Amino acid sequence: MKQKRDRLNDESRLSRFTTHVVLIFASFLAFGPFVWMFLTSIKTYEETIQIPMKFLPEIPQWVNYSIVSDKLNFPQLYLNTILVTIMMIVGQILIVTICAYAFDRLNFPGKNVLFMGMLALMMVPGQIFIIPRFKLMVNLGLTNTLVGLVLPGLFNIFGVFLMRQFFSTLPRELDEAARIDGCSYFRTYWNVLLPLVKPGLTTLAILGMLNTWKDLMWPLINNSQADKMTLAAGLAMLIGEHTTYYEQVMAGGVIAVLPLIVLFVIFQRQFVEGIAHSGIKG
Amino acid sequence: MKKKITALLLALTLVLSATALTGCGGGGGESSDGPVSLTLSLWDEAQLPVIQENVDAFNAAHEGEIEVTIEQIPWDTYWTKLDASLETNEAPDVFWMNTYVQKYVDAGVLEPLDSYIEGESFDMSVYAEGRVDAYNVDGQQYALPKGLDAVVVALNTELFDRYGVELPQEGWTWDDMRDIASQLRDAIAAAGGSEYPIVMELDAQPSWMNFLYQNGGNYLSEDGKTCGIALPESKDAIQQVVDLMNNEQMAPYSVLTETKGTDLFISGQAAIVFIGSWKSSVLEDSSLAADGKVQLIQMPSMAVDNKTNMGGLGYVMSANCENKEAAWEFMKYITGEEAMAHEAEEGIDIPAYLSAQAGYVENFQNINAQAFMDASATGFAYPSNGNFDWTTIVDDAMQEALGQVKTVDEAMDEGAAEAQAILDEVFG
């Protein structure tokens, strides 16, 4: 009996050790870039390009933060990014789910062809659409607006595919019951099915948020006025043709991610639970 | 509760879109009674503050008539964005141009300036001739030149002192350079040091583009139809660089691909570097220069001479511009004596406007910036014919030769043949 317990202990000790080694390694991978970003942000330009590399700055150059704050209007950039992200998430959830619902629950001629055609579009590299899309925005008068950043991204094909999978797991009996109670197609979608695919919505929202927050190319193309930039586009302004002052870019990077990190720490439980829930239920 | 939140979010979206839309309508700036509004696109973050000051001065002088706003677009996106916007009326009225000028002339999106120049007998000789020529395409002038750049050699005098090697003198040749580099190499090895005698950047402009011409070869023939990298003189020039690397007189290719030559130099890891004037402020601000350890000297001569190629920006006008007279006024001002003297004093660019150049040199305390001016006096325009399919091939061939993936002979012959096929198709 005792022997058995010891062996168990040994095993769990070994596995705990392995787990920790893996986790420590993973956290280095995860935190390394942030640490490096911060250290670079308080170096002088010379220290950032120093060979061999210098890990710590000689004298911390906090002035980089005030330089970069003078160059970029961070409150405005933040506001723009947050507005664009909210509009994108809300809009995507509405449009994508209603489309996914139609593809899963309704029967209409050419449904499958249409769906396959849409999926095929996913294989076309996005860069191809930049110029026609820009022309469209010019004709709509939406260049240099936040709506112009949101509108082209609202219809998310991957999202439709994802949500269709979620809808298809729900039993048809729900629709029938709703029908008998006198629900229209829209009511069935809005009151009965939508609340049941919440895990899918979480996934959709998180993916949408990440993509919108970090999108660089389109904001740079569509908006050229400094007061209509998002954070990512604003930071890109600091990249020069011949010389890039990395310490300023990194100081800007720290300013751009710090509030998010703080938010994550505060709402960590909700974040993790949200994702875990979606795993179980989905 | 949940319904309320959803409703709130929906309402929020609607309100936001509405405000954003009206914001756009109001900002169109096409009003008939206000001042004429012009946009200027540029890419360089480092130059922006000074140019903004010049634009402010222009706006103040034309209060109520012309209002110029700057839109900065980062270098990486500038050309994509320009392509997209030139096809629409969203194009900036005035924007920065460089060696790509021919491409945009061919696309018909640039306004020829000859009628404006002739209309008021505007004197183009106020600008450096080489830069005026660079923007003269098929006999028509498309840009007013802004600045110019040139390539020189920077020396780390501390390393020369430490290893007891004499500094090169003006008028030096590649033989002298090889000799100095060997002495440095041996002294560094004897002392167990890790520095390199010579480093360079692998891009065309600060390095091999100069060598080709200095050795009597060329990159592109005068008529813009023949690629000359397979000429014996061109091959020899590249071979000499490869030999420098093989003899450990220059840092090996693997080091130079990983780290920019100028960064190695500023870190005190190299004694000699070929360097462009666009790096002048970085050099000036380095602690190496602050300690008085940097000396600039003209490039060493190869078989023919030591002339360097010269790039430089220009201001062009969009053919779609709705207020061309106002745009012309602005272009004259922003490339004119007052504005360029200010750029020179701030040290951001060597003016193409000749009488504004004087202030540039005084801006530098730690390096003898006059060397850049001297180099630009004999510089030749960066060769270009507006097609960039063949240049990519030549760039690749150069990297294969320098990296010794292929012999210089093979790389140049194959690269030239492939590039020529494209040139024949486009210009033949």
Per-residue pLDDT of chain A (282 residues; tens, 9 = 90+): 555 556 667 777 888 889 999 999 999 998 899 999 999 999 998 888 887 888 899 999 999 999 999 989 999 999 999 999 999 999 999 999 999 999 999 989 999 999 999 999 888 888 888 888 988 998 898 989 999 999 998 988 999 999 999 999 999 999 999 999 999 999 999 999 999 988 888 888 888 888 898 889 899 989 888 889 999 999 998 888 888 889 999 999 999 988 888 888 887 777 676 666 554 443
Q: Both tokens of residue B194?
A: 């890790």
Label the pairing between strands B350-351 and B147-148: antiparallel
Q: Are residues A42 and A109 in the same domain?
A: no
Of A63, A83, A113, which one is at a domain's C-terminal end?
A63
Q: Does B347 touch chain A (CB under 8 A)?
A: no
Q: What is the pLDDT of residue B15?
A: 46
Sequence-distant (6+) residues with CB within 8 A of B78 are B41, B43, B96
Q: Hey, are the CB atoms on A51 and B44 less than 8 Å from each other?
A: no
Q: Does some domain include residue A277?
A: no
Q: What is the pTM for the complete model shown?
A: 0.78
A187 and A219 part of one domain? yes
User: Are residues A101 and A188 both part of a single domain?
Assistant: yes
Provide the percentage of residues in chain B whose pLDDT is more than 90: 69
**Closest chain B C-alpha to A72 CA, distance in angstroms:** 11
Taking an 8 Å cut-off on Cβ atoms, the answer to whether B282 and A87 are in contact is no
- Does residue A203 sit in the same domain as residue A125? yes
Is A53 within a domain?
Answer: yes
Domain-embedded: residue A218: yes
Count how many domains chain A has. Answer: 2
DSSP string, chain A: -HHHHHHHHHHHHHHHHHHHHHHHHHHHHHHHHHHHHHHHHTS-HHHHT-SS--SS-SS--THHHHHHHHHS-HHHHHHHHHHHHHHHHHHHHHHHHHHHHHHHH---TTHHHHHHHHHHHTTS-GGGGHHHHHHHHHHHT-TTSHHHHHGGGSS-HHHHHHHHHHHHTS-HHHHHHHHHTT--HHHIIIIIIGGGGHHHHHHHHHHHHHHHHH--HHHHHH--SGGG--HHHHHHTT--SS---HHHHHHHHHHHHHHHHHHHHHTHHHHHHHHHHHHHH-
Nearest to A236 among B23, B74, B287 (CB): B74
Give the mean model confidence (pLDDT) for residues B196-201.
96
- In this structure, are A225 and A97 located in the same domain? yes
The domains found in chain B, sorted by start residue, are: 35-148+311-376 (3.40.190.10), 151-306 (3.40.190.10)
Cβ-Cβ contacts under 8 Å, A220 against chain B: 73-74, 77, 81
CA distance A183 to A189: 9
Residues A57, A89 within the same domain: no
Q: How far is A234 from chain B (nearest CA, A)?
A: 10
pLDDT of residue B8 exceeding 70: no
Query: Residue B184: enclosing H or E segment and its boundaries?
Result: helix B174-191
- Please check whether residues A129 and A197 belong to one and the same domain: yes
Q: Mean pLDDT score of chain B, rounded to an integer? A: 89
Predicted local confidence at residue B25, as pLDDT: 35
ipTM score for this prediction: 0.73
Strands B136-137 and B94-97: unpaired
- Let me know if residue A174 belongs to a domain: yes
- Report yes or no on A171 lying in a domain: yes
Closest alpha carbon within chain B to A151: B17
Q: Which residues contact A110 (CB under 8 A, 6 or more apart)?
A: none
Q: What is the pLDDT of residues B370-404, one digit of tens each?
A: 999 999 888 888 888 888 899 999 999 999 999 99
Range of the domain at A180: 73-237
Residues A167 and A88 in one domain: yes
Q: Is A48 in the same domain as A167?
A: no
Percentage of chain B modeled with pLDDT above 70: 92
Q: Do A221 and B23 touch (CB under 8 A)?
A: no
Q: Is the pLDDT of residue B187 over 80?
A: yes
Q: Is the same domain home to A215 and A113?
A: yes
CB contact under 8 A, A134 and B88: yes
Residues A50 and A81 in one domain: no
Cβ of B267 and A50 within 8 Å?
A: yes
Tell me whether A132 touches chain B (CB under 8 Å).
no
Q: Which residues of B touch A237 (CB under 8 A)?
A: 45, 72, 74
Residue B416: is its pLDDT beyond 60? yes
Compare all CA atoms of chain B with the CA of A83 and give the residue at the minimum distance. Answer: B16
What pLDDT is attached to residue A40? 94
Q: How many residues does chain A have?
A: 282
Distance of CA A265 to the CA centre of its chain: 17
A59 shares its domain with A115 = no
CATH number at residue A110: 1.10.3720.10
Task: Report the b/e string of B264-280 with b at 16+ CB within 10 A.
Answer: bbbbbbbbbbbbbbbbb
Among A45, A63, A81, the domain-final residue is A63
Is the pLDDT higher at B223 or at B248? B248
Q: Is the pLDDT of residue B46 over 80?
A: yes
Q: Are A45 and B285 within 8 A, CB to CB?
A: yes
At B24 the pLDDT is 37
Residue A174 CA: distances (Å) to CA of A105, A169, A282: 11, 11, 17
- Report yes or no on A280 lying in a domain: no
For residue A212, being part of any structural domain is answered with: yes
Does some domain include residue A249? no
Q: In chain B, which residues have their Cβ closer than 8 Å to the Cβ of A136?
A: none
pLDDT of res. A209: 86
